[in-house]
Structure 1
Amino acid sequence: MQSQNQQINALIELNDELENYFRNTIIPQLFVDANLILRKFTPPAMKQFKLHPHDIGKSIMDIKDNFRFPTIIENIEHVIKTGELLEKEIQTTDMRWYQMNILPYLVQKGNQNNGVIITFVDITLRIHDLKEQEKLIMEHELLLDTISHDIKTPLTSLTLTIEMLKKTPEKGMVKFPALLEKIENGLHKIKGIVTELTDSRKTDQNYKSVEELLDIEQILEDVRLTLAPQILESNASICWDITHSEVLFVRRKLRSVLYNLISNSIKYRDQQRRPEILIRTFTEDDFFVISVADNGRGINKEDTDKIFTKYERISRDVEGTGVGLHLVREIVNLSGGKIVVDSTPGNGTTFKIYIKNHQ
């Protein structure tokens, strides 16, 4: 009898601990049993999904509209059936983003699946911040590129012209040396402004180009979150096979490279099939190689060089600015690497990014 009482007291203690946990956690969580009955939920879940105490004991089917996510029942049933953990980003009808984790609730006796625990982590702000970062990166890189190419090139030409004028006979032009001096002074001022602007942007704390040892999977996770709306809308499958995970590079630049390549794989998908994107890493000679392969439209051989030209757009039925791949090539080339394209129209495209391996 005493042993039975001890067991009952132990169960009461465990239940109290579970109740305290559910009352005090700041994360929206639900416990749904194997019969799809809602058994418990945390106060944040009550607030976020407008649940009420009388909803406990109801079938999740009866309150699925509270969650504003259409496939939640299918996801729960999948985890109950397979016993596999499910992790995915979801967007609810109120336009918020969540990292939803559905874990099987296993009973120790018989190791049976007795339901699921569902956790919702609000990642709306993180996705927004990542998108803003990507926008800033694009603007910053384009500014530097514009200064380097669109301004410095004509300035160099003007410098050469002045040098030629210096060697030209004056032919009685008294004011010629004075005019030439003014042009030269103005040229030096313009160069100074360009140099100052470029250097100030490069050394700005928010854009500091500092190489660091990066985990490629963390970068891919950031890119995946940034592209979550496009992935959801296109039902794209993104997988990676990472045999080498660490590379020395500038974080924002590597993220921008992968963002543009994966974004293009989704945008230029074949409408007749689900987009499938595979990212692989490996080493080749002295290079760390990142391969991004898709099953999209593909690129004609005569267009493979054009795609890297700034503002050049091969397909006009897809929104874009024509600067993404140009930016990718600039980043890779300036780092001492290279980019290789292998594509078959109708079958897909593989971009290989070769980064100098400094390790």
Structure 2
Amino acid sequence: MNAEFLQALRDLERERGLKTEVLLSVIEAALLSAYRRNFGTAQNARVEIDRTTGECRVLAQRTVVEEVKDPRTEISLAEAREIDPRYQVGDVVEIEVTPRDFGRIAAQTAKQVVMQRIKEAERNMIYEAFAGREGDIVTGTVHRADKQNVYLDLGKTEAILPAAEQIPGERYRQGDRVRAYILEVRRTPKGPQIILSRTHPGFLRRLLELEVPELQEGTVELKNLVREPGSRSKVAVYSRDPHVDPVGACVGPRGSRIQAVVNELRGEKIDVVRWDPDPSRFIAEALSPAKVTAVEIWEEEKIARVIVPDNQLSLAIGKEGQNARLAAKLTGWKIDIKSESQMAEIYAREYASYYGEEGGGGEES
């Protein structure tokens, strides 16, 4: 090693933020290990790199004693005073023991250490760049895919879109550009691992925020959303400004805003409904697109009975119960849906039961 090597380290400090002094200390520790490994010595030693010239020396450390028992670690007082008459018993004397071909080992070791530190620094920079972005959306290019995971190239690093976070039915081909939600950033021995999702509710939330300025400004608030990825979602919104229609703001002119989100989600249907502090009105809204006649609620049990016109029953329930299921998740209420004719029968039975018992009680045998 020489002065040019030191200058290269200083260049790295400017370009990559790797502290020269830290690098030199790490290189000295690595060289000491290399010295012990290659020369099989058990003596105490240290490696010193001159901060001006770059010269590398191995210094054996020996304790000054009256009588030497182990010449590898001890030196007599007489020998020590030949080096410096001020030495006393118990002092530590350093004697240069640099091997003849140690320069070659030093150069190889230093190169390995520096390259490793550069890799670690790059990994740390990537981790720091993404660690604070959990909950953001990124765009990547499909680099490769296996039976379970899709790997996206984000430029400086690669991210993983696991099978569980992929929208059912989606297919990914090499070179496709894909947007996804940063679910988690993990620090691993091989570098940062970025986990993405296209099924997380946060992905839909962020897409809406990107498309709807009123959500970004805070005029419209997204109160809650639920998803069955690839199939249907429900979004409850509220406006802090009475002059702004929250549903209209999210849908956009001629449905342009919501359609952009639907396209990104490959056709996933999105119901945007108005949030209301009155649970009866909110539950009725949540069952959109079905029309609701009335809502009866039992506050303590958080149970609601919803009455709909006969021709709206199947729409209110939805295919395989999906509409009712999502409405229940969105509102936090257990919802029981009945048609008007079903309710007429229930009321008739209740009426007959009540008045039948009352009449029976008044008869004489």
Structure with bigger helix share is 1
TM-score, with structure 2 as normaliser: 0.22
Q: Is the radius of gyration larger for structure 1 or structure 2?
A: 2
Bigger RCO of structures 1 and 2 (CA < 8 A, at least 6 apart): 1
Q: Normalising by the residue count of structure 1, what TM-score does the alignment of the two structures yield?
A: 0.22
